[in-house]
Structure 1
Amino acid sequence: MNAPHSRAWYAQLARGLGGYRHAWARVLDGPDPELTFDALLAERLGPDVRVLEAGCGHGPDAARFGSGAARWAAFDAVPELVAQVRVNAPHADVHEWNAKGEVPEPLLGPFDLIVSRRGPTSVILRLPELAAPGAEFLYVGPRLDVPQVPARLSAVGWEVRGEWRVSVRARVPSRADWATRCEWTNEPERVPEWDAHARADGLPYREERYVVLASKRS
C-alpha cells in the first residue's frame, strides 16, 4: 500500500479509478460545497482570459471550463494524470510540474487567472512569476481552514479579497467507505467513529470546503 498523497499513491488512483477521484461513496444532504468555486471560476472566464490550473488531476476542470478561456494551461506532478488530461481535455496545454523548482517555459505565462481545486498551495509562492498585471488567484481546499493559503498569499504581496467557508451535511453508507475517506484525509484515528456513531443509513459527517479569491496587493 502506497502512502496516502504520495506520487505513487496518486499514480495508483489514476490507474485504478481513471483519475483523481474520491474512492468512497457519499451522500450529500445539500448542494455540493464546491459549487461556490465553480461559480466564481465560471464568471471570470472570457475570450481574453488566460488560465493556469495548478494540480489539474485527470483534467475535469480543463474539460469543463477550458473552452471558455483564451488559453487553458495546466500542470500536475503525476505523469499518469498528465497523460489522462491530454486525452480528456486535448485543447489544454498540460505539463508535468510540482510547483517547485524551475517553471517549465510553456507555463511562464503570464496568466490572468490561476486556479487550484484542492491542488498544491505551493503554487501561491510562484504567483509573482506566473501572474499578469491585475491577475486573480482562486482556490478551494478540503476543510474550513487552510492556514497556509492566506499566509503564503501575504508572503508574496497578495491579499485575500473574498473567503467562503462552506459546510454541508453528508453521510457515508459503509464502514469501508469511512475508512477509505479517513485514509484519504490523513485521519486514520477517526475510523473508530463509525463504531461509535454510525446509524442504519451510515455515518453522518460534514463535507467542508474553504474557498479563497485573491489578487495582488495594491
Structure 2
Amino acid sequence: MEMNDKYIFPDPSKHPDWITPHSPEWYSKLNSSVGAYRYPWNSTFEMPNAEMMFAEHLSSRITPDSRVLDVGCGHGDFTSIWGYKAKEVIGIDNRENFIKRAEINNNHESTKYLVVNADDELPFPDHYFDIVYTKKGPWLYKEASRILKQSGIILGLYHGGTDGGLRDLFPGLFSPLPYDPYNLDAVEERYKLYQSVGLSQVRIRLLEEVEYLSAPEDVLIKKCFGQSEELKDFVWSQCLKGVKEIFYKHATEKGIRVINYHHLITAKVG
C-alpha cells in the first residue's frame, strides 16, 4: 500500500476518554455495554483465519478421554465446540453475565461454566486436566502446572496487533505496534512467559490472518472497539471524512486488506 501524505489523523489513544484495550476497565466497559466479546465491525477473512488455525491445533490434542479447561471463556461459543469431543470441558470467566449466557446456550452434558477469577487459586484438584487453553484470555503462570496432568499441555492464542499497511494509509489513527510481532523474543518478554511455574518447552508461533474491512466505518469501529460513546463521537467527527476518501481510493472489491498478527503459545508440564 502506498503511504497517505494528505491526512494526519488524531490519535484516539491520546484522548482523555481512551480506555486501554484488554485492561480490567476495558473489559468492564465491554461487559456492561455489549455483554459479550464479539467484534462489531463487518469484514471478511481469508481462510483459515487465526481462530480456525488455533482450533485445529487444539483439536488434534483432544481425545474422548480428555479433560479440558478454557480460561477466559467469555460467552462460551468457542468452548462449546469441544463438548462432543472431550470427556469433560469447563469454561471459566470472571464476568458473571458472560457465564450466564454460556450456561443458557450450553447443550452438552460434558460441559459446564463457572465464574472464576483466573488470577486467584483455581477450584480444581491437582493434576486434573489434560489440556488448558486460553483464547486471548489470561495465561496461567502459577496454577497451570498444578492442575495439569504430568503429560498435560497449555495453549494460548494472543492478538499481536494489526497492520499490513494500515498505519501508512491512516497515519495517526493507529498507534505504533507495541512490539515487532515477528520478534518472538519480544513476545516472550511481553507475556512474561519465563514466569510460568513448572512449565517447559515453551514455544511461540506467529499466525498471520488476512482480513478485509468492508466499509470506512469498519476501520473506525475496529479502532474504537470497547471504547465509550464519547470517544467514538470524537473519532467519527474528526476522522470519518478522511477515512472515507482513503478507503475508497485503496479498497479492493472485498474492502481494505489488513493483517492481524496472532501468536500461538504452547508449553508442557515438567
TM-score normalised per structure 2: 0.67
For 1:176, give the aligned amino acid. E
The aligned counterpart of 1:212 is: 265
CA distance in 1, matches of 2:97, 2:18: 16
User: Would the alpha carbon gap of residues 34 and 113 (structure 1) be closer, same or farther in structure 2, given more than 3 Å must change?
Assistant: same
- Aligned-residue offset at 1:22: 0.9
CA distance in 1, matches of 2:126, 2:98: 21
- Aligned-residue offset at 1:8: 3.5
Higher relative contact order (CA 8 A, sep 6+): 2
CA distance in 1, matches of 2:92, 2:126: 12
User: Would the alpha carbon gap of residues 125 and 69 (structure 1) be closer, same or farther in structure 2, given more than 3 Å must change?
Assistant: same
The aligned counterpart of 1:53 is: 70
The aligned counterpart of 1:115 is: 133
- Aligned-residue offset at 1:72: 0.4
CA distance in 2, matches of 1:57, 1:8: 14
Aligned residue for 1:47, secondary structure, equals coil
Question: Runs of 5+ in structure 2 lacking a partner?
Answer: 1-16, 161-180
Matches within 5 A, 1:34-73: 34-73=51-90
Aligned residues: 209
Say whether the 8 Å CA contact 1:153–1:159 is kept in structure 2: no
1:12 pairs with one of 29, 33, 36 = 33
Q: Which runs of 4+ in 1 moved over 4 A?
A: 1-4, 106-109
CA distance in 2, matches of 1:96, 1:149: 27
For 2:82, give the aligned amino acid. F
TM-score normalised per structure 1: 0.81
CA distance in 2, matches of 1:9, 1:179: 17
User: Would the alpha carbon gap of residues 106 and 125 (structure 1) be closer, same or farther in structure 2, given more than 3 Å must change?
Assistant: closer
Say whether the 8 Å CA contact 1:52–1:74 is kept in structure 2: yes
Question: Runs of 5+ in structure 1 lacking a partner?
Answer: none
Q: Deviations over 1:56-107 (max 9, x none)?
A: 111112221122111101101111110011122243221112212232x357
1:24 partnered with 2:41: yes
CA distance in 2, matches of 1:71, 1:133: 18
1:159 pairs with one of 187, 200, 206 = 200
- Normalized per residue, the structure richer in strand is 1
User: Would the alpha carbon gap of residues 62 and 168 (structure 1) be closer, same or farther in structure 2, given more than 3 Å must change?
Assistant: closer
CA distance in 2, matches of 1:36, 1:149: 22
1:173 pairs with one of 197, 214, 220 = 214
CA distance in 2, matches of 1:73, 1:154: 25
User: Would the alpha carbon gap of residues 213 and 102 (structure 1) be closer, same or farther in structure 2, given more than 3 Å must change?
Assistant: closer
Aligned residue for 1:67, secondary structure, equals coil
- Aligned-residue offset at 1:147: 3.4
Structure (1 or 2) with the larger CA radius of gyration: 2
1:100 partnered with 2:119: yes
- Aligned-residue offset at 1:44: 1.2
2:152 pairs with one of 119, 126, 135 = 135
Say whether the 8 Å CA contact 2:205–2:263 is kept in structure 1: yes
Question: C-alpha root-mean-square deviation of aligned residues, in Å?
Answer: 3.0
Percent identical among aligned pairs is 18
For 1:216, give the aligned amino acid. V
